[in-house]
Structure 1
Amino acid sequence: MKKLYSALMTAFNDDGSINEAGTREMIRYNIDVNKVDGLYVGGSTGENFNMSHEQKEQVFKIAIDEAKNDVDLIAQVGSLDLNESKYLAKFVTDLGYPHISAVTPFYYNYTFEQIKDYYNEIVKDVDNELIIYSIPVLTGVSLSLDQFAELFENPKIIGIKYTNADFFLLERVRNRFPDKLILSGFDEMLLPALALGVDGAIGSTYNLNAKRAKAEMNAFDAGDIDKARQLQKDSNDLISALIANDIYPSLKLVFKELGVNAGVTKKPMAQPTSEMIAGAKKIYNDYLKED
Protein backbone atom coordinates (compact mmCIF):
# COMPACT_ATOMS: atom_id res chain seq x y z
CA MET A 1 0.00 0.00 0.00
CA LYS A 2 1.30 3.45 -0.92
CA LYS A 3 2.24 5.68 2.01
CA LEU A 4 1.80 9.40 2.50
CA TYR A 5 4.29 11.37 4.59
CA SER A 6 4.08 14.98 5.69
CA ALA A 7 7.33 16.88 5.52
CA LEU A 8 7.22 18.09 9.10
CA MET A 9 7.43 21.82 9.70
CA THR A 10 9.23 23.35 12.68
CA ALA A 11 7.51 26.03 14.72
CA PHE A 12 9.84 28.90 15.58
CA ASN A 13 9.44 31.78 17.99
CA ASP A 14 10.06 35.36 16.86
CA ASP A 15 13.63 35.21 18.18
CA GLY A 16 14.46 32.13 16.08
CA SER A 17 14.28 29.65 18.94
CA ILE A 18 12.22 26.50 18.51
CA ASN A 19 8.64 26.63 19.70
CA GLU A 20 8.38 23.13 21.13
CA ALA A 21 4.68 23.27 21.97
CA GLY A 22 3.81 24.42 18.45
CA THR A 23 5.97 21.75 16.84
CA ARG A 24 4.24 19.13 18.95
CA GLU A 25 0.84 20.49 17.90
CA MET A 26 1.73 20.09 14.23
CA ILE A 27 2.91 16.53 14.83
CA ARG A 28 -0.33 15.64 16.59
CA TYR A 29 -2.44 17.26 13.87
CA ASN A 30 -0.65 15.23 11.22
CA ILE A 31 -1.15 12.01 13.15
CA ASP A 32 -4.61 12.51 14.64
CA VAL A 33 -6.37 14.60 11.98
CA ASN A 34 -4.43 14.10 8.75
CA LYS A 35 -3.92 10.38 9.47
CA VAL A 36 -0.61 10.41 7.61
CA ASP A 37 1.45 7.26 7.40
CA GLY A 38 4.65 8.98 8.40
CA LEU A 39 6.65 12.15 8.99
CA TYR A 40 9.79 13.29 7.20
CA VAL A 41 11.69 15.15 9.91
CA GLY A 42 14.46 17.69 9.26
CA GLY A 43 13.88 18.36 5.60
CA SER A 44 13.56 21.54 3.56
CA THR A 45 10.04 22.19 4.85
CA GLY A 46 11.31 21.86 8.42
CA GLU A 47 13.82 24.66 7.67
CA ASN A 48 16.67 22.31 8.56
CA PHE A 49 19.27 24.32 6.69
CA ASN A 50 18.45 27.41 8.75
CA MET A 51 19.05 25.56 12.02
CA SER A 52 21.97 25.20 14.36
CA HIS A 53 23.26 21.75 15.21
CA GLU A 54 21.60 21.97 18.64
CA GLN A 55 18.25 22.90 17.10
CA LYS A 56 18.40 19.91 14.75
CA GLU A 57 18.93 17.61 17.73
CA GLN A 58 16.05 19.29 19.54
CA VAL A 59 13.63 18.76 16.67
CA PHE A 60 14.61 15.12 16.23
CA LYS A 61 13.99 14.55 19.95
CA ILE A 62 10.64 16.34 19.94
CA ALA A 63 9.36 14.47 16.89
CA ILE A 64 10.10 10.96 18.09
CA ASP A 65 8.92 11.73 21.62
CA GLU A 66 5.59 13.07 20.35
CA ALA A 67 5.04 10.59 17.52
CA LYS A 68 6.33 7.59 19.45
CA ASN A 69 5.32 4.54 17.38
CA ASP A 70 2.15 6.06 15.92
CA VAL A 71 3.63 6.63 12.43
CA ASP A 72 6.75 5.89 10.43
CA LEU A 73 9.56 8.40 10.86
CA ILE A 74 12.35 9.38 8.48
CA ALA A 75 15.13 11.66 9.76
CA GLN A 76 16.90 13.87 7.21
CA VAL A 77 20.49 14.14 8.46
CA GLY A 78 22.23 15.53 5.38
CA SER A 79 24.57 18.47 5.84
CA LEU A 80 27.51 20.13 4.13
CA ASP A 81 29.46 19.08 7.21
CA LEU A 82 29.92 15.33 6.74
CA ASN A 83 30.93 14.90 10.37
CA GLU A 84 27.62 16.45 11.41
CA SER A 85 25.73 14.13 9.06
CA LYS A 86 27.49 11.09 10.50
CA TYR A 87 26.89 12.29 14.04
CA LEU A 88 23.19 12.96 13.39
CA ALA A 89 22.79 9.58 11.67
CA LYS A 90 23.99 7.88 14.84
CA PHE A 91 22.04 10.30 17.04
CA VAL A 92 18.67 9.60 15.39
CA THR A 93 19.38 5.88 15.10
CA ASP A 94 20.03 5.76 18.84
CA LEU A 95 16.77 7.69 19.38
CA GLY A 96 14.94 4.95 17.49
CA TYR A 97 14.30 6.43 14.04
CA PRO A 98 13.72 3.49 11.69
CA HIS A 99 15.05 5.30 8.60
CA ILE A 100 17.42 8.11 7.76
CA SER A 101 17.68 10.30 4.69
CA ALA A 102 20.29 12.72 3.39
CA VAL A 103 20.17 15.47 0.82
CA THR A 104 22.86 15.36 -1.86
CA PRO A 105 25.77 17.62 -0.85
CA PHE A 106 25.47 20.95 -2.61
CA TYR A 107 27.02 24.38 -3.32
CA TYR A 108 30.58 23.21 -4.08
CA ASN A 109 29.87 21.25 -7.28
CA TYR A 110 31.03 17.97 -5.83
CA THR A 111 32.02 15.14 -8.17
CA PHE A 112 29.91 12.00 -8.15
CA GLU A 113 32.72 10.09 -6.45
CA GLN A 114 32.62 12.64 -3.63
CA ILE A 115 28.84 12.35 -3.40
CA LYS A 116 29.09 8.55 -3.32
CA ASP A 117 31.69 8.72 -0.56
CA TYR A 118 29.44 11.09 1.41
CA TYR A 119 26.54 8.62 1.36
CA ASN A 120 28.70 5.61 2.14
CA GLU A 121 30.31 7.45 5.05
CA ILE A 122 26.92 8.45 6.53
CA VAL A 123 25.68 4.86 6.72
CA LYS A 124 29.01 3.16 7.44
CA ASP A 125 28.82 3.17 11.22
CA VAL A 126 25.05 3.02 11.80
CA ASP A 127 22.61 0.14 11.79
CA ASN A 128 20.03 1.95 9.71
CA GLU A 129 18.76 2.33 6.15
CA LEU A 130 19.13 5.49 4.08
CA ILE A 131 16.86 7.15 1.54
CA ILE A 132 18.63 9.50 -0.89
CA TYR A 133 17.05 12.97 -0.92
CA SER A 134 17.29 14.06 -4.57
CA ILE A 135 16.12 17.65 -5.10
CA PRO A 136 18.04 19.15 -8.04
CA VAL A 137 16.01 22.37 -8.12
CA LEU A 138 17.57 23.38 -4.78
CA THR A 139 20.90 21.53 -4.78
CA GLY A 140 21.84 21.76 -8.44
CA VAL A 141 22.78 18.06 -8.25
CA SER A 142 21.13 15.73 -10.77
CA LEU A 143 22.00 12.08 -10.36
CA SER A 144 21.84 9.83 -13.42
CA LEU A 145 20.37 6.35 -13.69
CA ASP A 146 23.81 4.76 -13.56
CA GLN A 147 24.80 6.90 -10.59
CA PHE A 148 21.73 5.78 -8.66
CA ALA A 149 22.78 2.23 -9.55
CA GLU A 150 26.23 2.80 -8.02
CA LEU A 151 24.72 4.23 -4.85
CA PHE A 152 22.34 1.28 -4.57
CA GLU A 153 25.31 -1.08 -4.51
CA ASN A 154 25.44 -0.20 -0.82
CA PRO A 155 22.73 -2.42 0.70
CA LYS A 156 22.00 0.19 3.37
CA ILE A 157 20.82 2.66 0.70
CA ILE A 158 17.25 1.55 0.06
CA GLY A 159 15.55 4.25 -1.96
CA ILE A 160 14.99 7.83 -3.06
CA LYS A 161 12.92 10.80 -2.03
CA TYR A 162 12.49 11.86 -5.64
CA THR A 163 11.87 15.62 -5.80
CA ASN A 164 12.72 15.99 -9.46
CA ALA A 165 10.61 17.08 -12.42
CA ASP A 166 12.46 14.69 -14.74
CA PHE A 167 9.81 12.02 -15.10
CA PHE A 168 11.66 10.23 -17.89
CA LEU A 169 14.38 9.53 -15.33
CA LEU A 170 11.76 8.53 -12.76
CA GLU A 171 10.36 5.92 -15.15
CA ARG A 172 13.84 4.62 -15.88
CA VAL A 173 14.69 4.40 -12.15
CA ARG A 174 11.42 2.65 -11.33
CA ASN A 175 11.88 0.16 -14.16
CA ARG A 176 15.49 -0.63 -13.29
CA PHE A 177 15.04 -0.82 -9.52
CA PRO A 178 11.60 -2.35 -8.89
CA ASP A 179 12.54 -3.34 -5.35
CA LYS A 180 13.84 0.07 -4.25
CA LEU A 181 11.66 2.53 -2.35
CA ILE A 182 10.71 5.59 -4.39
CA LEU A 183 8.76 8.38 -2.70
CA SER A 184 7.52 11.28 -4.82
CA GLY A 185 8.54 14.70 -3.54
CA PHE A 186 6.58 17.13 -5.73
CA ASP A 187 3.04 17.47 -4.35
CA GLU A 188 1.81 19.13 -7.54
CA MET A 189 2.87 16.08 -9.59
CA LEU A 190 1.54 13.33 -7.36
CA LEU A 191 -0.77 11.85 -10.00
CA PRO A 192 1.83 11.36 -12.76
CA ALA A 193 4.22 10.01 -10.13
CA LEU A 194 1.58 7.45 -9.11
CA ALA A 195 1.19 6.49 -12.76
CA LEU A 196 4.92 5.74 -12.88
CA GLY A 197 4.75 3.42 -9.90
CA VAL A 198 6.07 5.35 -6.89
CA ASP A 199 5.61 3.77 -3.48
CA GLY A 200 4.18 6.90 -1.89
CA ALA A 201 4.85 10.57 -1.41
CA ILE A 202 6.46 13.07 0.95
CA GLY A 203 5.44 16.71 0.80
CA SER A 204 5.03 20.02 2.55
CA THR A 205 1.42 20.70 1.58
CA TYR A 206 0.31 17.37 3.01
CA ASN A 207 0.51 19.12 6.38
CA LEU A 208 -2.75 20.78 5.28
CA ASN A 209 -3.89 18.67 2.35
CA ALA A 210 -3.29 15.06 3.39
CA LYS A 211 -6.94 14.01 3.24
CA ARG A 212 -7.28 15.11 -0.37
CA ALA A 213 -3.95 13.56 -1.33
CA LYS A 214 -4.88 10.24 0.27
CA ALA A 215 -8.24 10.31 -1.52
CA GLU A 216 -6.36 10.86 -4.78
CA MET A 217 -4.10 7.90 -4.10
CA ASN A 218 -7.10 5.73 -3.29
CA ALA A 219 -8.92 6.86 -6.45
CA PHE A 220 -5.87 6.03 -8.55
CA ASP A 221 -5.54 2.60 -6.99
CA ALA A 222 -9.25 1.98 -7.67
CA GLY A 223 -8.82 2.92 -11.32
CA ASP A 224 -10.96 6.07 -11.04
CA ILE A 225 -8.61 8.31 -13.00
CA ASP A 226 -11.19 11.06 -13.56
CA LYS A 227 -11.64 11.44 -9.81
CA ALA A 228 -7.89 11.35 -9.25
CA ARG A 229 -7.39 14.07 -11.88
CA GLN A 230 -10.01 16.28 -10.26
CA LEU A 231 -8.42 15.84 -6.84
CA GLN A 232 -4.99 16.71 -8.28
CA LYS A 233 -6.51 19.81 -9.89
CA ASP A 234 -8.03 20.83 -6.55
CA SER A 235 -4.71 20.24 -4.80
CA ASN A 236 -2.86 22.25 -7.41
CA ASP A 237 -5.28 25.16 -6.96
CA LEU A 238 -4.37 25.13 -3.27
CA ILE A 239 -0.65 24.79 -4.01
CA SER A 240 -0.76 27.69 -6.48
CA ALA A 241 -2.44 29.89 -3.88
CA LEU A 242 0.13 28.95 -1.23
CA ILE A 243 3.05 29.69 -3.57
CA ALA A 244 1.56 33.06 -4.54
CA ASN A 245 1.24 33.94 -0.84
CA ASP A 246 4.82 32.73 0.04
CA ILE A 247 4.49 29.05 0.76
CA TYR A 248 6.49 28.42 3.94
CA PRO A 249 5.08 31.19 6.13
CA SER A 250 1.67 30.66 4.54
CA LEU A 251 1.58 26.99 5.54
CA LYS A 252 2.04 28.10 9.14
CA LEU A 253 -0.52 30.90 8.87
CA VAL A 254 -3.12 28.51 7.45
CA PHE A 255 -2.29 26.06 10.24
CA LYS A 256 -3.25 28.83 12.68
CA GLU A 257 -6.63 29.13 10.92
CA LEU A 258 -7.04 25.43 11.70
CA GLY A 259 -6.35 26.13 15.37
CA VAL A 260 -2.78 24.84 15.35
CA ASN A 261 0.02 26.98 16.81
CA ALA A 262 2.60 26.64 14.03
CA GLY A 263 4.81 29.55 15.10
CA VAL A 264 6.66 31.53 12.43
CA THR A 265 9.39 30.81 9.93
CA LYS A 266 12.99 31.48 10.93
CA LYS A 267 14.73 34.50 9.44
CA PRO A 268 15.91 35.15 6.80
CA MET A 269 12.64 33.56 5.65
CA ALA A 270 9.75 36.00 5.38
CA GLN A 271 7.81 37.02 8.46
CA PRO A 272 4.01 37.46 8.36
CA THR A 273 2.62 40.67 6.92
CA SER A 274 -0.97 41.88 7.03
CA GLU A 275 -1.33 41.00 3.34
CA MET A 276 0.08 37.52 3.92
CA ILE A 277 -2.23 36.93 6.87
CA ALA A 278 -5.25 38.00 4.81
CA GLY A 279 -4.10 35.74 1.99
CA ALA A 280 -3.81 32.78 4.35
CA LYS A 281 -7.34 33.37 5.65
CA LYS A 282 -8.61 33.35 2.07
CA ILE A 283 -6.70 30.13 1.31
CA TYR A 284 -8.26 28.50 4.36
CA ASN A 285 -11.77 29.64 3.44
CA ASP A 286 -11.43 28.77 -0.25
CA TYR A 287 -9.72 25.39 -0.03
CA LEU A 288 -9.74 23.90 3.47
CA LYS A 289 -12.70 25.13 5.51
CA GLU A 290 -15.19 22.34 6.06
CA ASP A 291 -18.91 23.08 6.04
Structure 2
Amino acid sequence: MTKKLYSALLTSFNADGTVNEKGTREIVRHNIDVNHVDGLYVGGSTGENFMLQTATKKRIFEIVKDEAGDDVDLIAQVGSIDLQEAKELANYVVNDLGYKTISAVTPFYYNFSFPEIKYYYDEIVKDVNANLIVYSIPALTGVSLSLDNFAKLFENPKIIGVKYTNADFFLLERLRNRFPDKKILFGTDEMLLPALSLGVDGAIGSTYNVNAARAKAEIEAFEAGNMQKALDIQHETNDLISAILGNGLYQTIKLLLQDMGVEAGYTKEPMHKPTPEMKTTASEIYAKFLKN
Protein backbone atom coordinates (compact mmCIF):
# COMPACT_ATOMS: atom_id res chain seq x y z
CA MET A 1 0.00 0.00 0.00
CA THR A 2 1.69 3.17 -1.16
CA LYS A 3 -0.71 5.69 0.39
CA LYS A 4 -0.15 6.32 4.09
CA LEU A 5 -2.75 6.29 6.84
CA TYR A 6 -2.28 8.44 9.93
CA SER A 7 -4.45 8.57 13.02
CA ALA A 8 -5.15 12.06 14.31
CA LEU A 9 -4.15 11.15 17.81
CA LEU A 10 -6.49 11.50 20.76
CA THR A 11 -5.24 12.57 24.18
CA SER A 12 -6.50 10.75 27.25
CA PHE A 13 -7.49 13.18 30.01
CA ASN A 14 -8.36 12.50 33.62
CA ALA A 15 -11.70 13.69 34.98
CA ASP A 16 -10.01 16.86 36.29
CA GLY A 17 -8.60 17.75 32.86
CA THR A 18 -5.01 16.71 33.49
CA VAL A 19 -3.26 14.45 31.01
CA ASN A 20 -3.69 10.73 31.65
CA GLU A 21 -0.23 9.54 30.67
CA LYS A 22 -1.01 5.83 30.95
CA GLY A 23 -4.12 6.21 28.80
CA THR A 24 -2.35 8.35 26.20
CA ARG A 25 0.39 5.75 25.91
CA GLU A 26 -2.27 3.07 25.46
CA ILE A 27 -3.86 5.05 22.61
CA VAL A 28 -0.46 5.32 20.93
CA ARG A 29 0.22 1.61 21.30
CA HIS A 30 -3.27 0.70 20.08
CA ASN A 31 -2.68 2.70 16.92
CA ILE A 32 0.71 1.13 16.32
CA ASP A 33 0.16 -2.46 17.44
CA VAL A 34 -3.52 -3.03 16.61
CA ASN A 35 -4.38 -0.47 13.93
CA HIS A 36 -0.97 -0.72 12.22
CA VAL A 37 -1.18 2.88 11.04
CA ASP A 38 1.72 4.43 9.18
CA GLY A 39 1.88 7.44 11.44
CA LEU A 40 0.38 9.65 14.11
CA TYR A 41 -0.65 13.29 13.79
CA VAL A 42 -0.01 14.66 17.27
CA GLY A 43 -1.51 17.83 18.74
CA GLY A 44 -4.27 18.45 16.26
CA SER A 45 -7.97 19.12 16.70
CA THR A 46 -8.58 15.52 17.74
CA GLY A 47 -6.00 15.87 20.51
CA GLU A 48 -8.02 18.82 21.89
CA ASN A 49 -4.84 20.84 21.42
CA PHE A 50 -6.37 24.29 21.21
CA MET A 51 -7.63 24.08 24.79
CA LEU A 52 -4.21 23.29 26.25
CA GLN A 53 -1.42 25.29 27.85
CA THR A 54 2.05 25.26 26.30
CA ALA A 55 3.54 23.03 29.00
CA THR A 56 0.75 20.49 28.53
CA LYS A 57 1.29 20.43 24.77
CA LYS A 58 4.99 19.81 25.31
CA ARG A 59 4.28 16.97 27.71
CA ILE A 60 1.96 15.26 25.21
CA PHE A 61 4.56 15.55 22.43
CA GLU A 62 7.11 14.05 24.83
CA ILE A 63 4.87 11.13 25.88
CA VAL A 64 4.04 10.24 22.28
CA LYS A 65 7.64 10.38 21.09
CA ASP A 66 8.79 8.33 24.07
CA GLU A 67 6.13 5.68 23.48
CA ALA A 68 6.24 5.53 19.69
CA GLY A 69 9.95 6.02 19.17
CA ASP A 70 10.66 5.51 15.49
CA ASP A 71 8.01 2.82 15.04
CA VAL A 72 5.82 5.09 12.88
CA ASP A 73 5.94 8.53 11.27
CA LEU A 74 5.18 11.31 13.72
CA ILE A 75 3.86 14.72 12.72
CA ALA A 76 3.73 17.36 15.48
CA GLN A 77 1.04 20.03 15.04
CA VAL A 78 2.62 23.12 16.61
CA GLY A 79 0.39 25.81 15.14
CA SER A 80 -1.09 28.43 17.43
CA ILE A 81 -2.69 31.84 17.21
CA ASP A 82 0.33 32.87 19.31
CA LEU A 83 3.22 32.78 16.84
CA GLN A 84 5.81 32.78 19.61
CA GLU A 85 4.23 29.68 21.12
CA ALA A 86 4.22 27.99 17.70
CA LYS A 87 7.93 28.75 17.27
CA GLU A 88 8.70 27.56 20.80
CA LEU A 89 6.84 24.29 20.21
CA ALA A 90 8.52 23.79 16.82
CA ASN A 91 11.93 24.23 18.40
CA TYR A 92 11.03 21.87 21.25
CA VAL A 93 9.65 18.99 19.18
CA VAL A 94 12.41 19.15 16.57
CA ASN A 95 15.52 19.99 18.60
CA ASP A 96 14.64 18.40 21.94
CA LEU A 97 12.45 15.46 20.93
CA GLY A 98 13.61 14.62 17.42
CA TYR A 99 10.39 15.01 15.43
CA LYS A 100 11.26 15.28 11.75
CA THR A 101 7.97 16.73 10.50
CA ILE A 102 5.83 19.48 11.95
CA SER A 103 2.47 20.90 10.97
CA ALA A 104 0.71 24.15 11.75
CA VAL A 105 -2.91 25.17 11.55
CA THR A 106 -3.62 28.40 9.69
CA PRO A 107 -3.74 31.33 12.14
CA PHE A 108 -7.39 32.01 12.88
CA TYR A 109 -9.95 34.35 14.47
CA TYR A 110 -8.45 37.72 13.45
CA ASN A 111 -9.01 37.46 9.69
CA PHE A 112 -5.30 37.65 8.98
CA SER A 113 -4.25 38.77 5.51
CA PHE A 114 -2.46 36.25 3.33
CA PRO A 115 0.90 38.06 3.70
CA GLU A 116 0.46 37.69 7.47
CA ILE A 117 -0.34 33.98 7.06
CA LYS A 118 2.73 33.47 4.88
CA TYR A 119 4.90 35.29 7.41
CA TYR A 120 3.54 33.02 10.15
CA TYR A 121 4.54 29.84 8.29
CA ASP A 122 7.94 31.14 7.20
CA GLU A 123 8.69 32.17 10.80
CA ILE A 124 7.71 28.78 12.24
CA VAL A 125 10.14 26.87 10.01
CA LYS A 126 12.88 29.50 9.86
CA ASP A 127 14.97 28.24 12.77
CA VAL A 128 14.24 24.49 12.72
CA ASN A 129 15.57 21.74 10.52
CA ALA A 130 12.23 20.11 9.76
CA ASN A 131 9.61 19.87 7.07
CA LEU A 132 6.23 21.52 7.60
CA ILE A 133 2.77 20.47 6.46
CA VAL A 134 0.17 23.24 6.33
CA TYR A 135 -2.99 22.32 8.25
CA SER A 136 -5.93 23.68 6.27
CA ILE A 137 -9.31 23.20 7.97
CA PRO A 138 -11.49 26.12 6.87
CA ALA A 139 -14.69 24.80 8.46
CA LEU A 140 -13.15 25.38 11.91
CA THR A 141 -10.70 28.23 11.26
CA GLY A 142 -12.67 30.27 8.72
CA VAL A 143 -9.45 30.53 6.68
CA SER A 144 -9.66 29.43 3.05
CA LEU A 145 -6.42 29.28 1.09
CA SER A 146 -6.55 29.66 -2.69
CA LEU A 147 -4.47 27.77 -5.23
CA ASP A 148 -2.21 30.79 -5.62
CA ASN A 149 -1.92 31.09 -1.83
CA PHE A 150 -0.67 27.52 -1.67
CA ALA A 151 1.77 28.27 -4.50
CA LYS A 152 3.27 31.13 -2.50
CA LEU A 153 3.53 29.02 0.66
CA PHE A 154 5.18 26.19 -1.26
CA GLU A 155 7.92 28.57 -2.44
CA ASN A 156 9.47 27.85 0.95
CA PRO A 157 11.29 24.52 0.41
CA LYS A 158 10.63 23.45 4.00
CA ILE A 159 6.85 23.56 3.38
CA ILE A 160 6.31 20.19 1.76
CA GLY A 161 2.55 19.74 1.67
CA VAL A 162 -0.85 20.13 3.25
CA LYS A 163 -3.21 18.34 5.58
CA TYR A 164 -6.30 19.09 3.53
CA THR A 165 -9.43 18.94 5.68
CA ASN A 166 -11.83 20.50 3.22
CA ALA A 167 -14.80 19.39 1.12
CA ASP A 168 -13.71 21.53 -1.86
CA PHE A 169 -12.78 18.83 -4.35
CA PHE A 170 -12.27 21.26 -7.20
CA LEU A 171 -9.50 22.96 -5.23
CA LEU A 172 -8.12 19.54 -4.26
CA GLU A 173 -7.94 18.47 -7.91
CA ARG A 174 -6.26 21.75 -8.87
CA LEU A 175 -3.75 21.35 -6.03
CA ARG A 176 -2.84 17.81 -7.08
CA ASN A 177 -2.53 18.86 -10.71
CA ARG A 178 -0.39 21.91 -10.03
CA PHE A 179 1.83 20.46 -7.30
CA PRO A 180 2.46 16.80 -8.17
CA ASP A 181 5.51 16.68 -5.91
CA LYS A 182 3.87 18.12 -2.79
CA LYS A 183 2.42 15.83 -0.14
CA ILE A 184 -1.38 16.00 0.19
CA LEU A 185 -2.85 14.19 3.18
CA PHE A 186 -6.63 14.20 3.22
CA GLY A 187 -8.40 14.95 6.49
CA THR A 188 -12.10 14.29 5.97
CA ASP A 189 -12.66 10.61 6.75
CA GLU A 190 -16.17 10.35 5.31
CA MET A 191 -14.90 11.43 1.87
CA LEU A 192 -11.76 9.32 1.63
CA LEU A 193 -12.71 7.52 -1.58
CA PRO A 194 -13.26 10.60 -3.77
CA ALA A 195 -10.02 12.02 -2.38
CA LEU A 196 -8.19 8.84 -3.34
CA SER A 197 -9.54 9.22 -6.86
CA LEU A 198 -7.93 12.67 -7.04
CA GLY A 199 -4.51 11.36 -6.13
CA VAL A 200 -3.93 12.23 -2.48
CA ASP A 201 -0.86 10.73 -0.85
CA GLY A 202 -2.71 9.44 2.17
CA ALA A 203 -5.10 10.41 4.93
CA ILE A 204 -5.13 11.74 8.48
CA GLY A 205 -8.28 11.34 10.55
CA SER A 206 -9.79 11.01 13.99
CA THR A 207 -11.93 7.96 13.21
CA TYR A 208 -8.86 5.98 12.19
CA ASN A 209 -8.19 5.56 15.92
CA VAL A 210 -11.00 2.98 15.79
CA ASN A 211 -11.64 2.38 12.07
CA ALA A 212 -8.15 2.04 10.60
CA ALA A 213 -8.71 -1.52 9.37
CA ARG A 214 -11.59 -0.44 7.13
CA ALA A 215 -9.71 2.58 5.86
CA LYS A 216 -6.67 0.47 4.98
CA ALA A 217 -8.89 -2.08 3.24
CA GLU A 218 -10.53 0.71 1.27
CA ILE A 219 -7.18 2.06 0.15
CA GLU A 220 -6.04 -1.43 -0.85
CA ALA A 221 -9.24 -2.03 -2.83
CA PHE A 222 -8.85 1.32 -4.58
CA GLU A 223 -5.24 0.66 -5.48
CA ALA A 224 -6.18 -2.79 -6.78
CA GLY A 225 -8.80 -1.20 -9.06
CA ASN A 226 -11.74 -2.77 -7.19
CA MET A 227 -13.89 0.35 -7.05
CA GLN A 228 -17.07 -1.46 -6.00
CA LYS A 229 -15.36 -2.94 -2.95
CA ALA A 230 -13.85 0.43 -2.09
CA LEU A 231 -17.25 2.09 -2.39
CA ASP A 232 -18.89 -0.60 -0.25
CA ILE A 233 -16.28 -0.02 2.46
CA GLN A 234 -16.82 3.74 2.30
CA HIS A 235 -20.56 3.16 2.76
CA GLU A 236 -19.85 1.05 5.87
CA THR A 237 -17.44 3.66 7.17
CA ASN A 238 -19.95 6.43 6.67
CA ASP A 239 -22.63 4.47 8.52
CA LEU A 240 -20.17 4.26 11.40
CA ILE A 241 -19.23 7.94 11.18
CA SER A 242 -22.88 8.99 11.09
CA ALA A 243 -23.50 7.00 14.25
CA ILE A 244 -20.44 8.50 15.96
CA LEU A 245 -21.37 12.06 15.00
CA GLY A 246 -24.91 11.53 16.24
CA ASN A 247 -23.59 10.56 19.66
CA GLY A 248 -20.79 13.12 20.12
CA LEU A 249 -17.58 12.86 18.09
CA TYR A 250 -14.67 12.86 20.52
CA GLN A 251 -16.56 11.42 23.47
CA THR A 252 -17.78 8.52 21.36
CA ILE A 253 -14.39 7.69 19.84
CA LYS A 254 -12.98 7.58 23.36
CA LEU A 255 -15.85 5.39 24.53
CA LEU A 256 -15.26 3.04 21.59
CA LEU A 257 -11.61 2.78 22.55
CA GLN A 258 -12.71 1.99 26.10
CA ASP A 259 -14.76 -0.89 24.67
CA MET A 260 -11.56 -2.05 22.95
CA GLY A 261 -9.73 -2.11 26.27
CA VAL A 262 -7.90 1.21 25.85
CA GLU A 263 -7.92 3.75 28.69
CA ALA A 264 -8.98 6.65 26.48
CA GLY A 265 -10.17 8.83 29.34
CA TYR A 266 -12.32 11.93 29.18
CA THR A 267 -12.58 14.93 26.91
CA LYS A 268 -11.38 18.26 28.27
CA GLU A 269 -13.86 20.86 29.51
CA PRO A 270 -15.82 22.70 28.25
CA MET A 271 -16.51 19.52 26.28
CA HIS A 272 -18.93 17.59 28.45
CA LYS A 273 -18.40 14.17 29.92
CA PRO A 274 -20.41 11.33 28.35
CA THR A 275 -23.87 10.69 29.69
CA PRO A 276 -25.11 7.18 30.50
CA GLU A 277 -27.13 7.32 27.27
CA MET A 278 -24.01 8.18 25.27
CA LYS A 279 -22.15 5.27 26.85
CA THR A 280 -24.97 2.87 25.98
CA THR A 281 -25.13 4.12 22.41
CA ALA A 282 -21.35 3.88 22.04
CA SER A 283 -21.44 0.25 23.16
CA GLU A 284 -24.16 -0.41 20.58
CA ILE A 285 -22.02 1.26 17.89
CA TYR A 286 -19.06 -0.87 18.93
CA ALA A 287 -21.09 -4.08 18.77
CA LYS A 288 -22.55 -3.22 15.39
CA PHE A 289 -19.51 -1.85 13.56
CA LEU A 290 -16.28 -2.73 15.32
CA LYS A 291 -16.50 -5.88 17.43
CA ASN A 292 -14.68 -8.80 15.85
Identify the TM-score tier after normalising by the shorter chain.
Answer: over 0.9
Q: Residues 46-195 of structure 1: matches in 2 within 5 Å? A: 46-94=47-95, 95-195=97-197
Flag as ranges the 4+ runs of structure 1 deviating above 2 A: none
2:18 maps to what in 1? 17
SS at match of 1:281: helix
Distance (whole Å) between structure 1 residues aligned to residue 12 and residue 262 of structure 2? 10
Q: Residues 214-233 of structure 1: matches in 2 within 5 Å? A: 214-233=216-235
Q: Can you list the C-alpha shifts for 1:63-94, whole angstroms capped at 9, x where unaligned?
A: 00000010000000000110000010010002
Deviation at 1:98, TM superposition (A): 1.3
Q: Can you list the C-alpha shifts for 1:249-290, whole angstroms capped at 9, x where unaligned?
A: 110011000011000000001211001100110110010011
The letter for the 2-side match of 1:162 is Y
SS at match of 1:97: coil
1:259 maps to what in 2? 261
Contiguous gaps of at least 5 residues in structure 2: none
- Provide the aligned length of Structure 1 versus Structure 2: 290
Deviation at 1:100, TM superposition (A): 0.1
Q: TM-score, structure 1 length as denominator?
A: 0.99
Deviation at 1:7, TM superposition (A): 0.3
The letter for the 1-side match of 2:184 is I
Q: Can you list the C-alpha shifts for 1:169-221, whole angstroms capped at 9, x where unaligned?
A: 00000000000000000000000000000000000000000000000000000
Distance (whole Å) between structure 2 residues aligned to residue 255 and residue 39 of structure 1? 16
Distance (whole Å) between structure 2 residues aligned to residue 225 and residue 205 of structure 1? 22
SS at match of 1:45: helix
Distance (whole Å) between structure 1 residues aligned to residue 279 and residue 268 of structure 2? 17
Distance (whole Å) between structure 2 residues aligned to residue 102 and residue 267 of structure 1? 23
Distance (whole Å) between structure 2 residues aligned to residue 183 and residue 254 of structure 1? 25
SS at match of 1:10: coil
Q: Residues 25-44 of structure 1: matches in 2 within 5 Å? A: 25-44=26-45
Matching residue within 270, 278, 282 for 1:268 = 270
Deviation at 1:224, TM superposition (A): 0.1
Contiguous gaps of at least 5 residues in structure 1: none
SS at match of 2:177: helix
Distance (whole Å) between structure 2 residues aligned to residue 5 and residue 251 of structure 1? 16
Distance (whole Å) between structure 1 residues aligned to residue 274 and residue 208 of structure 2? 21
Identical pairs, percent: 67
Deviation at 1:62, TM superposition (A): 0.3
SS at match of 1:260: coil
Matching residue within 193, 207, 221 for 1:205 = 207
Distance (whole Å) between structure 1 residues aligned to residue 24 and residue 235 of structure 2? 30
Distance (whole Å) between structure 2 residues aligned to residue 247 and residue 48 of structure 1? 15
The letter for the 1-side match of 2:73 is D
Distance (whole Å) between structure 2 residues aligned to residue 211 and residue 236 of structure 1? 14
Q: TM-score, structure 2 length as denominator?
A: 0.99
Deviation at 1:97, TM superposition (A): 0.7
1:3 maps to what in 2? 4
Q: Can you list the C-alpha shifts for 1:16-43, whole angstroms capped at 9, x where unaligned?
A: 0000000000000000000000000000
The letter for the 1-side match of 2:131 is E
The alignment yields a C-alpha RMSD, in angstroms, of 0.4
